[in-house]
Amino acid sequence: MADVNPGLEGVVAAKTTIGLVDGSAGRLLYRGYEIGDLAARGTFDSVAALLLDGEWPAVRETLPPMELDGPVVAALRSLPADAAPLDALRTGISAWGAARGVDWPPSTAQARELIALAPVIVGGFARLREGDEPVDPAGSEGLGVAGRLLHAISGELPEASRERALDAYFVCCAEHGLNASTFTARVITSTHSDLTSAVCGAVGALKGRLHGGAPSGVRDQLTQIGNVEHAERWIRDALARGERLMGFGHRIYRTTDPRAQALRGVAEGLAGDAEWLKLAIDVEDVALRLLAEHKPDRVLKTNVEYYASVVLDGVGLPSDLYTPAFAVARTAGWCAHVLEQAEHGRLIRPVAAYAGPGVRPVPL
Ligand code: ACO
């Protein structure tokens, strides 16, 4: 039987000019720009344009505000109030694509609309489940995508510091190579299916706890630890039970995730809950020490989700909207990969090594 590589580690499945994830150096570039610089000086809307078009926009880009049209609102209204918000995002995108007739080939115009629509769907569902109506996007024209998410949830114009912090988070999460959700989007695109289908599949892949589901896990973890004095005992017990610490470890990075460093700076600059931030910083130190002891042969460092959790908490998002917020940001990377795959890709079709029974007769 051929060698099996079930996690596809080390398999090079695409050539890309979108982003570089250098796991050993702890470096992340979007089209040649360092993530730390982009988080400090870029805006998410400009970064989205960079990812889609390949070059930094000549004039500062703000994606046009999108309204929830009838079929999308009807689809969101049909969901139970306790539906997972990520399911609502996937449903809303699907309804939009069907109503708009999004078809092959994908285009940057479709991508811009989809990226701008995603925060409005998340915010619209967050309101509908509380019995409130979606917010009229008029009045949010000056905001970028991150600000529009806050506006679509609360109906109010967000404080500039919160908008800026969420925007930096969005920049950090916009793109990350051939992660599971992006790969899913490229596989779907490789069949010449449409942009909406590719992004819906990617949202499904992101839903898993091992991929995009970690920031709310980090919050639960910090809530349970409660006080740094309890951290060592709590973490030792969790590791002894074979559990994974949320916000640590990464398939690619063998050093600190550069996005975690950028987001720690964002969290420190946010006038949020100072005690919560201090708890996160102190618990991180304990966790890193105990993870090194627990797995001396495996470098387990802080990943993006750890300080993402602190930033998302600081901007006032409810914890069940953490992963949907991540998804809104990642629509930019998914769409860029869909466009690249559509232009240069080939049908993705690996093989499985059959390990089932040999030929046998059907029982009568
Ligand atoms: N806590 C404790 N142990 C860990 C952790 C962790 N966070 N991460 C990995 N390990 C251990 C594993 O249990 C495994 O031990 P074993 O060899 O005894 O079975 C060893 O380290 C290697 O782990 P792998 O599963 O090979 O690592 P992989 O590359 O598949 O996983 C992953 C990466 C999924 C991110 C993992 O580190 C993890 O589960 N982390 C916690 C969840 C998390 O923070 N996810 C967000 C990732 S970032 C993102 O998706 C945007």
> What are 152-169's pLDDT values in tens digits?
999 999 999 999 999 999
Q: What residues does ligand 1 touch, defined as CB less than 6 Å away?
A: 210-211, 214, 244-251, 295, 298, 300, 303-305
Does 210 score more than 90 pLDDT?
no
Question: Which of 187, 228, 214 is closest to 312 using CA atoms?
Answer: 214
- The share of the chain scoring above pLDDT 70, in percent, equals 99
Per residue in 33-85, pLDDT (tens digit) is 999 999 999 999 999 999 999 999 988 889 988 999 999 999 999 999 999 99
Residue type for position 122: V
Q: How far is the CA of 350 from the centre of ligand 1 (A)?
A: 25
List, in order, residues 6 or more apart from 120 with CB less than 8 Å away: 65, 66, 67, 68, 134, 137, 148, 152
CA of 239 from ligand 1 middle (Å) equals: 12
- Cα–Cα distance, 338 to 345 (Å, whole number): 9
Report which protein residue has its CA nearest ligand 1's atom 32: 250
Q: Name the closest-CA residue to atom 16, ligand 1.
A: 295
Could you give the CA distance from residue 135 to residue 78 in angstroms, rounded to a whole number? 18
Q: Which of 175, 305, 337, 340 is catalytic?
A: 305
Tell me the C-alpha distance between 235 and 232, whole Å: 5
How far apart, in whole angstroms, are the C-alpha atoms of residue 140 and residue 148?
6
**Order of strands, sheet of 19-22, starting from the edge strand that comes earlier in the sequence:** 19-22, 27-30, 33-34
Q: How far is CA 88 from the centre of its chain?
A: 15
Distance 262 CA to ligand 1 centre (A): 21
Rg (CA), the chain: 21
| Atom from ligand 1 closest to the CA of residue 306 | 44
- With the most atoms of ligand 1 within 8 angstroms of its CB, the residue from 21, 173, 221, 300 to mutate is 300
Query: What is the mean predicted confidence (pLDDT) over 122-132?
Result: 98
Q: What is the pTM of this model?
A: 0.92
- Note whether 73 and 124 are within 8 A (CB): yes
Average pLDDT value over all residues in the chain: 94
Which residue has the least CA distance to atom 25 on ligand 1? Answer: 251
Ligand 1 midpoint to CA 339 (Å): 30
DSSP 28: E
Q: What's 176-220 look like in SS3?
A: CCCCHHHHHHHHHHHCCCCHHHHHHHHHHHHCCCCCCCHHHHHHH
Residue 273 in this model has a pLDDT that exceeds 80: no
**What is the pLDDT confidence band of residue 1, given thresholds at 50, 70 and 90?**
low
Task: Exactly one of 250, 284, 337, 340 is catalytic; name it.
Answer: 250
- In 3D, which of 90, 199, 74, 62 has the Cα closest to residue 134? 74
**What is the crossing angle of helices 274-294 and 228-240, to 10°?**
40
Query: Please, which pLDDT band fits residue 251 given cuts at 50, 70 and 90?
Result: confident
Closest-CA residue to 92 (of 66, 112, 130): 66
Smallest Cα–Cα separation from 305: which of 330, 273, 286, 272? 330
For residue 305, indicate whether it is catalytic.
yes
Closest C-alpha residue for ligand 1 atom 44: 247
d(CA 226, CA 78): 38
Smallest CA separation from ligand 1 atom 9, residue: 249
Alpha-carbon span 310 to 330, nearest angstrom: 19
337 is catalytic: no
Distance 298 CA to ligand 1 centre (A): 10
Residue 362 has pLDDT above 80, yes or no: yes
Secondary structure element (H or E) that encloses residue 279, with its range = helix 274-294
Q: What is the mean pLDDT of residues 268-281?
A: 87
- SS3 of 8, please? coil
